[in-house]
Structure 1
Amino acid sequence: MKVSNMNEVYINKIAKFLPNAPVNNDDMETFLGKINDKESKARRIVLRNNGIKTRYYALTEAGVPTHSNAQLTAEAVNGLFDVDFGPQDVELLSCGTSSPDFLMPSHAVMVHGELGNRNLEINSAAGNCCAGMNALKYGYMSVKSGNSKNAVCTGSERMSSWMVADHFSKEVENLRQLEEQPIIGFNKDFLRWMLSDGAGAFLLENEPKGNLSLRIDWMEGYSYAHELDVCMYAGADKTADGTLKSFSDYTSEEWLSKSIFAVKQDTKLLDKYILVKGVESMKNAMDKHGISPADIDYLLPHVSSHYFVDGLYKGFAAAGIEVAREKWFTNLRDVGNVGAGSVYLMLDELVQSGRLVKGQRIMLCVPESARFTYAYAFLTVC
């Protein structure tokens, strides 16, 4: 069977949407509220380690939502449109998030509804931080195969509304009634100080346009769920043997009394495996495509915390894939951890910085701690 030539795929436009004004560390509890009317003991420790100074919330200071996830995403997508490419030109919409507004319908359906543009193909990528990269890969494969001439791909989060204090009030009251200390576990409190809201969007096309395009040379993904336990989860709780029990197997009363829908993280598993498997998967991707550190001009690693940066650098060096620190580009300090949207926001900021020169190559590197999944993309500036 004759195999036809594949198209090249280019990121020709990038847009973002960050809701409201940036929120500094001292004002976080103003927006999210205080659990049990007490300041979090974990907050300062977590913030000191993650190095985040400001982030964005789709909330008022009273904790009232200002945007849905679908609205955040649609705002980013609208930023791609101009006189040369409008809403009616989109052939495929591929959206990734770990915080959809609903269990169903899917996130991409709701974004499409917000856009209200035309009949088109959609794809929703679920999961955690890699959801944005999985949405990108679907669009990449569609354009590359000739299924579509263009694709709009997005990564977004609206985690703030999951983290407001009111969602934990029933658990605190339940602990009081059991005469236990009314303090939310660290595995829940930890993430209240880590996560942020926002959305990014890429326009993919089968030919370069404008003054600067980014060709997607390849994308790779790796999962270690076959050997590692769940680390980050929501809508479930861990049992004594480490397995997950779904929200659907709890009573509706337990949903509130145990904060079943809260986002939780097993920090011991995170610390033990996130860097080890990140280094292993990065080396696998580089070896597969014959890439050396010298071939990378910019490394854009999605790190949830600056705590991991030195360890990741040392791990790369020990594995023989050391990428010089001056090549690393992140915006975690100012934008926060926007999960599935972070890599979109990083690449947008790098492009807007004016640093890029044709011929340079960029590595996107996204880990996901949910059950240890990793995604990579290698780009060339055209």
Structure 2
Amino acid sequence: MAVRAVITGVGHYLPERVVENAEFEKTLDTTDEWIRTRSGIERRHFAAEGETTSTMGTAAAKAALSDAGCAADDIDAVIVATSTPDLTFPSVATMIQKELGMVRGFGFDVQAVCAGFIYALSNANAQIVSGQAKRILVIGAETFSRILDWTDRSTCVLFGDGAGAVVVEAQEGQGTSSDRGILAVDLNSDGNYRDMLYVDGGVSTTGTAGKLRMQGNPLFRQAVQKLASTAELAIERAGMVPADVDWIVPHQANIRIIEGTAKKLGHSMDKVVVTVQDHGNTSAASIPLAMSVGRDRGQIKRGDVIVAEAIGGGLAWGAVVLRW
């Protein structure tokens, strides 16, 4: 017998404001066609005034708890993946704890940019397998609209706001690849690639939040290669081959990266959950958002084998293989 970390609930939240590509034509030298062709993005959601990472994360958390059929006090820990916290401290996780009415357990944030949810899910898995916790709320939430340079047409059209959440619960398995739950994880980072994607501000440097900066073409080349290799390694660690995977749930950054990674894994796009056209790049929120939407669409079903992979600033990248 083996303890497995099983996803028992999923939920998401998107801000009410939807921004179509055409809106950017009013202020930037860009077009709807240019944005679609290069990214696959058609629209994205932006947070309203007063709406924050913690408020969106709380809404997604409540949806996931409801889906799992459990209450806040059934949760041992809250782990939030975000690069856009409400405040420098305290953590977004503790703010969500308060809003959920939790009076027990612990909460903390994980910062690995777009790979944040993979890192947070890996952490939850380790805590459940070690016996540290039995039920963990893992949330990806971002308000990237607050760190965008609205004069930079190469970046500001790519990102959106939102939140996704899963409830991960300890369950007994056989210790084989037929178990439900997280079957394998692969995590990586390399600080030599820092300048490809970063924010030009921070507490100990400028004292400001800063703005997002990106080198698109070099990052694209790194992304396809690294995402495919991390997914392949995680699949191998799970005792499987790519053909065993029912669904790829990728980080939703760029449709061409998604297509390139699927091709390297030998999968057609009809086995990939794609939401980038409607959400843009929501960083750490994109994979749980896609999981929730994919489940709601009827794509992801109980027993399906899923590989989720992401790459973000750092560079940091990784993959998780799980059975839903």
* TM-score, with length taken from structure 2: 0.87
Pair member with larger Rg = 1
Question: What residue in structure 2 maps to residue 190 of structure 1?
Answer: 154
Structure 1 residue 6: Cα displacement: 4.4
Q: Deviations over 1:258-316 (max 9, x none)?
A: xx8011112242133222222232333333333212111111121311132343344x1
- For the residue of structure 1 that corresponds to 2:65, the secondary structure is coil
Establish whether residue 219 from structure 1 lines up as the match of residue 185 from structure 2: yes
Select 2:127's aligned residue among 127, 142, 163. 142
Judge conservation of contact 2:80–2:92 (CA < 8 Å) in 1: yes
Question: What residue in structure 2 maps to residue 10 of structure 1?
Answer: 6
Cα distance change, pair 207–159 in 1 and its aligned pair in 2 (3 A): same
- For the residue of structure 1 that corresponds to 2:154, the secondary structure is helix
Q: Partners in 1 of 2:149 and 2:223 — Cα distance?
A: 27
Structure 1 residue 342: Cα displacement: 0.7
Question: What residue in structure 2 maps to residue 115 of structure 1?
Answer: 100
- Following superposition of structure 1 onto structure 2, how do residues 349-368 of structure 1 map, counting pairs within 5 Å? 349-368=293-312
Cα distance change, pair 301–84 in 1 and its aligned pair in 2 (3 A): closer
Cα distance change, pair 207–313 in 1 and its aligned pair in 2 (3 A): closer
Cα distance change, pair 28–199 in 1 and its aligned pair in 2 (3 A): farther
Establish whether residue 95 from structure 1 lines up as the match of residue 59 from structure 2: no
Establish whether residue 339 from structure 1 lines up as the match of residue 290 from structure 2: no
Structure 1 residue 26: Cα displacement: 1.9
Structure with more of its chain in strand, by fraction: 2
Establish whether residue 26 from structure 1 lines up as the match of residue 22 from structure 2: yes
Structure 1 gap ranges (5+): 30-37, 60-64, 166-183, 237-245
Question: What residue in structure 1 maps to residue 232 of structure 2?
Answer: 283
Q: Partners in 1 of 2:35 and 2:15 — Cα distance?
A: 23
Q: Deviations over 1:140-169 (max 9, x none)?
A: 22122211110011001111233375xxxx
Q: Deviations over 1:148-197 (max 9, x none)?
A: 110011001111233375xxxxxxxxxxxxxxxxxx5xxx4422111111
Number of aligned residue pairs: 316
User: Percent identity among equivalent residues?
Assistant: 21
Q: Deviations over 1:33-55 (max 9, x none)?
A: xxxxx721246433431121221
Question: What residue in structure 1 maps to residue 46 of structure 2?
Answer: 57
Q: Which AA in structure 1 matches 2:29?
A: K
Establish whether residue 80 from structure 1 lines up as the match of residue 69 from structure 2: no
Structure 1 residue 357: Cα displacement: 4.6
Q: Partners in 2 of 1:247 and 1:150 — Cα distance?
A: 33
Q: Which AA in structure 1 matches 2:210?
A: F
Q: Deviations over 1:36-91 (max 9, x none)?
A: xx7212464334311212211112xxxxx141111110111122334941122221
Q: Deviations over 1:100-119 (max 9, x none)?
A: 12222222222223333213
Structure 1 residue 366: Cα displacement: 1.4
Cα distance change, pair 309–87 in 1 and its aligned pair in 2 (3 A): closer
Question: What residue in structure 2 maps to residue 152 of structure 1?
Answer: 137
Q: Partners in 1 of 2:98 and 2:301 — Cα distance?
A: 38
- For the residue of structure 2 that corresponds to 1:378, the secondary structure is strand
Judge conservation of contact 2:144–2:159 (CA < 8 Å) in 1: yes
Q: Partners in 2 of 1:135 and 1:274 — Cα distance?
A: 20
Output the aligned Cα RMSD: 2.6
Question: What residue in structure 1 maps to residue 315 of structure 2?
Answer: 372
Establish whether residue 329 from structure 1 lines up as the match of residue 293 from structure 2: no
- For the residue of structure 2 that corresponds to 1:228, the secondary structure is helix
Judge conservation of contact 2:231–2:307 (CA < 8 Å) in 1: no
Structure 1 residue 205: Cα displacement: 1.1
- Following superposition of structure 1 onto structure 2, how do residues 293-304 of structure 1 map, counting pairs within 5 Å? 293-304=242-253
Q: Which AA in structure 2 matches 1:207?
A: Q
Question: What residue in structure 2 maps to residue 234 of structure 1?
Answer: 199
Tell me whether 16-25 or 281-290 shows the greater mean CA deviation. 281-290
- For the residue of structure 1 that corresponds to 2:226, the secondary structure is helix
Select 1:205's aligned residue among 151, 169, 188. 169
Question: What residue in structure 1 maps to residue 218 of structure 2?
Answer: 269
Structure 2 gap ranges (5+): 173-178
Structure 1 residue 247: Cα displacement: 6.6
